[in-house]
Chain A
């Protein structure tokens, strides 16, 4: 039997490769977005710290900017540094 493909429809799924499922700051899913954004994806990315803890970029920036001195990782209290 010969099958002739007339049309095909590709479906892809994606997910962030983080250890947790939710952001420790906003408690929203990593595969969703931070509360200030509407669409998950590149516009609301995840970011990792040198300590390997991940957060929504927007959430960790808010935290870092709300600290008067050097900010610490909300999860492990190590000095917050963005992973190179």
Chain B
């Protein structure tokens, strides 16, 4: 099956340069690059749709498979239980050799998330591996919610409040804006 995909998938890339004629030298490499990213993202999408991971989901934006929207729900028995967060994932032509840019789009009161939704998570920076994918990224962020790294906070207020889980939960509820409201 995958072999067959390999053939059919590669055919357009091989024929395009011939069809465009004069522009042969520059585009092919780029075509091949984004083409392999495309294939990998397609197989990830397939995997995500086939396997049901509770609490995470992701789907490309309508017109651009390089931009995905993901959602994660707060795990049970954490202060984030019952809340749902939307994230954006942006992939470059170097994916999976470079990590995607991942940001919270829903406000998230968390020690390792700043006010703009930027996330401080090692696997999105220096600990990135080409074996990670959308699924493992979202699962990692989901577990980061319940297990923050207090020693290097982006949100100091959240880091200080973390020790008081009861108050923290109140804060989460106060700042939480449901997705479909």
Contact = CB atoms under 8 A, between A and B. Distances in A.
Given A38-B14, A66-B94, A66-B97, A25 B130 contact: yes
Interface residues of A, number: 24
A31 B1 CA distance: 10
Given A28-B39, A28-B43, A33 B6 contact: yes
B129 A36 contact: no
B36 A38 contact: no
A35 B35 contact: yes
Interface string A10-31: 0000000000001011111101
A contact patch SS = loop
Contact of B97 (A31, A63, A72): A63
Contacts of A24: 130-131
Interface residues of B, number: 24
Contacts of A72: 129
Contact of A28 (B6, B14, B96, B98): B6
A26 B39 contact: yes
B36 A36 contact: yes
A74 B98 CA distance: 12
B84 interface: no
B22 interface: no
Interface in A48-84: 59, 62-63, 66, 72, 74-75, 77
10 contacts: A24-B130, A25-B131, A27-B40, A27-B133, A28-B2, A28-B5, A32-B6, A35-B32, A35-B40, A36-B32
Interface of B: 1-3, 5-7, 9-10, 14, 32, 35-36, 39-40, 43-44, 94, 96-98, 129-131, 133
A-B pairs, top 7 by smallest CB distance, nearest first, are: A35-B36, A29-B2, A74-B131, A66-B97, A32-B3, A24-B131, A32-B2
